[in-house]
């Protein structure tokens, strides 16, 4: 009995949301209908031929990474559309161990990259928490992760190759075609297809986990006083209480410090191996239980006290090897969605207070609210990190009904308004529920972004549902 309970608890705790989770292949409410079959070129020459063919036939192209988009960013619904996946273009080009850089084709996943670099004592600088995503797709949304020292992904990119709408491939970095560097990274595939990229790597290292429970209204001060300038800390996040009894009142801080341990066996890269060996089926059942039970959601803080305080030492690569396989899949009745809001620390308590009110009034079932830190970085044209901010990631089950969809649109727009009122913004890769006015307030440079896109792609060959709705 205890073993089953421990498995249930631990499998739920492993359900940490980050970026885009569910595939848009389950066309339903919130999803953009799929267009044509996915093309999967095996060579850059085949890819170039597809682009030229689409242009000749006056159709459009949407680019598919790992196919995990929640809001139709990898498809278009209005016209005939080529969906091109780069999953076969996943080769290692070069690895410079001494220089700590790697060049790969954009269809490679982070997990595939980790298998190449871990034996050389190297690790990824920045990525989302799950390693199933493609590197090209991650560039398209300019991801960030728990490693707050490196900022968003764009800060770790040296250069990339971009296949343009005229069929030419150009090199893009801060010196060559510099205007496209910040437009294409975080540009949702609208400026062309990133075929390969050179990334900065870091040394792999062993990390010790620490935890502390605090009042939620102390989180901003806690981060600034104890985390931000502590050079020993490499990873940081905080998980809020989600039950109706203690909604967003408590925060469970989790951080990882450089370890003094010298056990070389801990460096062995074992994808999914470190994470509690809980079957995918158990994880799905656990998530379903928490989705249905308000009592379990109220007990989660107590369960985290029980489970998360256990001391662990692990390598950076293993810490960054969570898989989407541990997460629940959509059912015929339930859709699991992600949202993310960025607010400056001086406005954090105000935003949490607004969010608490909206959640209570709307009856939102929060499965998780996680805080992370975002360094200021304005290299990307559609930057979500115009100032140092706290990122709040929400993980929510939503029933697949017309009534629930309409309700979700409403409370989401209220949350966006709350973030904007607190001088913050929201993240674009998820459901397209914001109004046009909200998008332009959150990203005032959007019209310039669209104008630049039309300059580089006058035929509007590269398109997706995000562009169709807001441009």
Helix (H) or strand (E) holding 313: strand 313-315
Domain count for the chain, please give it. 2
Q: How many CB atoms lie within 10 A of CB 42?
A: 10
Residue 12 φ then ψ, to 5°: -70, -40
- Domain boundary among the residues 162, 177, 203 is at 203
Q: Are 195 and 215 in a shared domain? A: no
What is the reported pTM? 0.90
Which pLDDT tens digit goes with each residue over 136-167?
999 999 999 888 888 899 999 999 999 999 99
CATH assignment of the domain containing 376: 3.30.70.2520
Are residue 238 and residue 365 in the same domain, yes or no? yes
The residue among 450, 459, 452 whose CA lies nearest residue 51 is 459
**How open is the CA angle 103-191-387, to the nearest 5 degrees?**
80
Position 23 confidence tier, pLDDT thresholds 50, 70, 90: very low
* 458 inside domain: no
pLDDT for residue 270: 76
Q: Do 259 and 351 lie in a common domain?
A: yes
Say if residue 228 is in the same domain as residue 263. Answer: yes
Question: Per-residue pLDDT for 290 more than 80?
Answer: no
Residue 418 included in any domain: yes
Q: Residue 28 domain-assigned?
A: no
- Helices within 100-184 (DSSP H only): 110-117, 135-141, 178-184
Asked whether the predicted pLDDT for residue 37 surpasses 90, the reply is: no
- Which helix or strand (DSSP H or E) is residue 191 part of? none
User: What pLDDT does 280 receive?
Assistant: 47
Residues 152 and 253 in one domain: no
Evaluate if residue 75 carries a pLDDT over 50: yes
Which CATH number belongs to the domain containing residue 179 in this structure? Answer: 3.30.465.10
48 located within any domain: no
Predicted pLDDT of residue 68? 60
Collapsing DSSP to helix, strand or coil, 4 comes out as helix
pLDDT tens, 358-371?
999 999 999 889 99
Q: Is residue 275 one of the residues assigned to a domain? A: yes
Looking at the structure, tell me whether residues 187 and 233 fall in a common domain: no
Is 70 exceeded by the pLDDT of residue 41? Answer: yes
Give the residue, 272 or 354, on which the prediction is more confident: 354
Do 220 and 129 reside in the same domain of the chain?
no
Taking the CA atoms of residue 419, residue 470, residue 377 and residue 354 in that order, the dihedral angle to the nearest 10 degrees is 10
Q: 254 and 117 in one domain?
A: no
Please determine, for residue 255, whether its predicted confidence score (pLDDT) is greater than 90. yes
Check whether 284 has a pLDDT greater than 60: no
What does residue 370 show for φ and ψ, rounded to 5 degrees? -115, 135
Structure tokens at 164: 């343009």
In a domain, 41, yes or no: no
Residue 36: which pLDDT band, with cuts at 50, 70 and 90? Answer: low
Last-in-domain residue among 203, 238, 264: 203
- Structural domain containing residue 413: 206-441
CA dihedral 301, 302, 305, 307 (to 10 degrees): -100
The order of strands in the sheet holding 313-315 is 313-315, 206-215, 250-258, 233-240, 368-374, 389-399, 334-343, 425-426
% of residues, the chain, pLDDT over 70: 83
210 with 198, same domain: the answer is: no
**Span 92-104, average pLDDT:** 98
Percentage of residues of the chain with pLDDT beyond 90: 68
Tell whether 35 is covered by a domain: no
Is residue 6 assigned to a domain? no
Same domain (yes/no): 174, 213: no
For residues 435 and 423, give the distance between their C-alpha atoms in angstroms, rounded to a whole number.
Answer: 17
pLDDT at residue 408 tops 90: yes
Looking at the structure, tell me whether residues 357 and 368 fall in a common domain.
yes
Q: 138, 173, 203 — which closes off a domain?
A: 203
Distance CA 109, CA 105 (A): 10
């Amino acid at each position: 009995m205890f073993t089953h309970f421990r498995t249930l608890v631990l499998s739920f705790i492993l359900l940490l949301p980050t970026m885009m989770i569910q595939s848009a292949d389950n066309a339903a409410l919130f999803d953009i209908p799929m267009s044509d079959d996915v093309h999967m070129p095996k060579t850059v020459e085949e890819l170039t031929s597809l682009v030229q063919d689409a242009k000749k036939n006056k159709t459009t192209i949407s680019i598919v990474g790992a196919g995990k988009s929640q809001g139709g960013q990898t498809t278009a619904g209005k016209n005939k559309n080529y969906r091109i996946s780069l999953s076969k273009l996943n080769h290692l080009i070069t690895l410079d161990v001494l220089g700590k850089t790697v060049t790969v084709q954009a269809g490679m996943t982070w997990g595939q990259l980790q298998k190449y670099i871990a034996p050389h004592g190297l690790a990824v600088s920045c990525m989302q928490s799950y390693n199933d995503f493609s590197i090209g797709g991650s560039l398209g949304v300019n991801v960030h992760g728990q490693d707050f020292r490196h900022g968003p992904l764009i800060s770790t990119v040296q250069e990339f190759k971009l296949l343009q709408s005229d069929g030419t491939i150009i090199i893009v970095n801060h010196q060559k075609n510099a205007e496209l560097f910040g437009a294409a990274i975080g540009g949702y595939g609208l400026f062309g297809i990133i075929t390969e990229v050179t990334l900065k790597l870091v040394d792999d290292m062993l990390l010790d986990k620490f935890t502390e429970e605090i009042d939620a209204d102390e989180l901003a001060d806690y981060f600034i006083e104890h985390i931000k300038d502590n050079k020993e800390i490499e990873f940081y996040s905080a998980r809020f209480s989600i039950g109706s009894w203690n909604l967003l009142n408590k925060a469970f801080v989790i951080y990882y410090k450089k370890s003094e341990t010298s056990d070389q066996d801990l460096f062995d890269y074992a994808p999914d191996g470190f994470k509690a060996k809980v079957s995918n089926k158990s994880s799905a059942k656990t998530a379903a239980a928490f989705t249905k039970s308000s009592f379990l959601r109220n007990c989660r803080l107590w369960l985290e006290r029980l489970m998360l305080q256990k001391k662990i030492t692990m390598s950076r690569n293993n810490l960054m090897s969570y898989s989407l396989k541990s997460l629940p899949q959509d059912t015929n009745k339930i859709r699991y969605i992600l949202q993310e809001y960025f607010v400056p620390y001086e406005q954090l308590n105000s935003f949490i207070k607004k969010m608490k009110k909206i959640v209570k009034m709307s009856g939102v079932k929060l499965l998780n609210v996680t805080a992370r830190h975002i360094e200021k970085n304005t290299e990307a044209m559609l930057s979500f990190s115009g100032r140092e901010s706290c990122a709040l990631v929400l993980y929510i089950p939503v029933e697949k009904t017309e009534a629930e969809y309409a309700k979700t649109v409403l409370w989401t727009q209220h949350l966006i308004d709350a973030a904007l009122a607190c001088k913050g913004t929201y993240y674009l890769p998820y459901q397209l529920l914001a109004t046009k006015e909200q998008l332009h307030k959150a990203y005032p440079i959007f019209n310039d972004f669209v104008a630049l896109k039309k300059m580089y792609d006058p035929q509007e060959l590269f398109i997706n549902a995000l562009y169709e709705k807001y441009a």
